[in-house]
Amino acid sequence: MSIANLKRRMDERIKVCAEPARMQAKFVRPQRLIKTLSIIEHKFDDLENTQPLEEKIIKSVLKWEQHGISGLTKRDYKNLAWSLSKKLPNYEEKLLFTPTGARLIDCFDQIGIEQLSSIYFPLLYSYFSFEANELENESDSWIQLRRILNINRSSVFRTLARQKKWMTTLIDNSEVLTTEPTKKFTHEFLNESNHNLVADKLESLRISANSWFWDDLIRSSIKSIKLLKEGEYFQIIPRFLVLLEKNKIYTTAILAALLERYASTTQREKVHEVLKHLALDQWGNPQYESSAGWNNVNPDTKKMVVQWFVRADLEAFFRLFSRTADVDRFNYWIKFIDKIAVSQIFLGPAASESNQVEHRKFREANRGRLKLLTGSTRTNNAFMLKIENIYVFDFSDIGNACYILNKIPYNQEHEKVDIDTLKPWVHILKLSHTSGWQRKFDEKLAELGIFSSQANNSNSLYKRRY
């Protein structure tokens, strides 16, 4: 047998014996050794990617400025890569945004793949290190840095002697180096029970907590609200409320997006108490033109929230604070809800001082919106509705007429209002709740050009046709 044939047969036997299935059958995998090796590799990677002292970075930058690429060591190149995200002495901004940084990026764009491999992680770290406000104008140098990282990602991966967790993470989530870096993660960010899932998945990239990346993720999530199906939208509201609570700077953007989407649903007439009172706290009463915060949503959305407050006010007046729920009067005035621009409740002493849980809850939720009624009985309350160009004042105690005025008769800055102020001698109409009052009210309001467009109008004769 020739030496060549012998060698061939030996190679075949070695190959067979070296098959993973046979190896695992003959030898127990050294699990503890493998785990120890993994820990050592992780520590080595951490050591390899530890940021150098600022003094060393400054020395490398000075060498670069004075001599260019000649004389730069491998360590200098790495220091220069780390320097891009630093604000160094004698520079008014971070190095990437300076002429020196622009020249450095051009240099990194031209070096070979092996040299780029040694500085790839520091460049990646610099890419993620900037805050959102620093990239508002999307610096050309930062865009060039992203392009360098993106087009060389696969080549650098192939040059690595062994797999590194951060590079594997980057390969699996390459979208982070595109113009839509967070689009892929929006669904996971919003729908997973583990709200840190995205951060855990990208942990090895060492993205700082203040990175533009997290800002982009939240803003991408907010933009996605308008694209959600109705069922998905209602399920995701609690997640956004938690997000808003933890990230106050996004309050306006989140609240506006949630309300705009709510206004386009089939349930817009159903009051969402949390959104309603959150909007009140942030932007003030939508019924007042002075509440400029409501410019963050379109007029139809604002109208929806106004109707939420009107409905809640009428329900409180006729059901919550009434000794006997006056269903007829509630049903009468609620049919004008799409015409009502302002509602105001005046609570008498009994209602304003009540310790009933629901009474306290309503007063607390509407703090700043309620007024106190004086000069009447303890049990009497009042409400005002602005329906188109008239003001309606009605009262809870029997024996009080309903007054129709063409202007608000009281000082809106005052918390307490006397009942006589709401019953001025000069008024348009004074209507009593006698038998058949609904029809009488319809007739008188129709004479003023006020009609209901809703199906529950008590008298179809006075329902405006459209």
**299 lies in some domain:** no
Please give the average per-residue pLDDT across 417-425, as a whole number: 94
* End position of a domain, from candidates 140, 171, 202: 171
| Residue 348 falls inside a structural domain | yes
Residue 428 has pLDDT above 70, yes or no: yes
How many whole angstroms from its chain centre is CA 137?
22
Q: How many domains in the chain?
A: 2
Q: 156, 171, 186 — which closes off a domain?
A: 171
Instruction: Please give the C-alpha separations between residue 434 and each of 334, 429, 438, 439, in angstroms, as whole numbers.
Output: 19, 15, 9, 11
Q: Residues 343-363: pLDDT tens digits?
A: 999 999 999 999 999 999 999
The whole domain housing 394 covers 307-448
Residue 23's pLDDT band (cuts 50, 70, 90): low
Question: Does a structural domain hold residue 301?
Answer: no
Which tens digit of pLDDT belongs to each residue from 359-404?
999 999 898 899 999 999 999 999 999 999 999 999 998 889 999 9
Six-digit token pair at 40? 């050592």
Residue 62 inside a domain? The answer is yes
pLDDT of residue 464: 44
Which residues have a Cβ under 8 Å from the Cβ of 106 and sit 6 or more positions away?
A: 144
Neighbours of 326 (CB within 10 A): 15
CB neighbours (10 Å) of residue 88? 16
Domain assignment present for 245 = no
- Tell me the two tokens of residue 327: 């269903």
- pLDDT at position 2, please? 60
Residue at 389 is within a domain: yes
* pLDDT higher than threshold 80 for residue 411: yes
Query: Binning pLDDT at 50, 70 and 90, where does residue 98 land?
Result: very high
pTM for the predicted model, two decimal places: 0.78
d(CA 113, CA 93): 29
Q: How confident is the model at residue 129 (pLDDT cuts 50, 70, 90)?
A: very high
The strand order across the sheet containing 416-418 reads: 416-418, 371-374, 340-347, 382-387, 390-395, 402-405, 429-431
Report for 5-14, 37-46, 258-267: range of highest mean pLDDT: 258-267
Mean pLDDT over the full length of the chain: 87
Residue 438 lies in a domain: yes
Residue 188, domain member (yes or no):
no
Distances (CA, A) of 234 to 162, 167, 215, 372, 455: 47, 38, 23, 37, 27
Confidence of residue 41 (pLDDT cuts 50, 70, 90): low
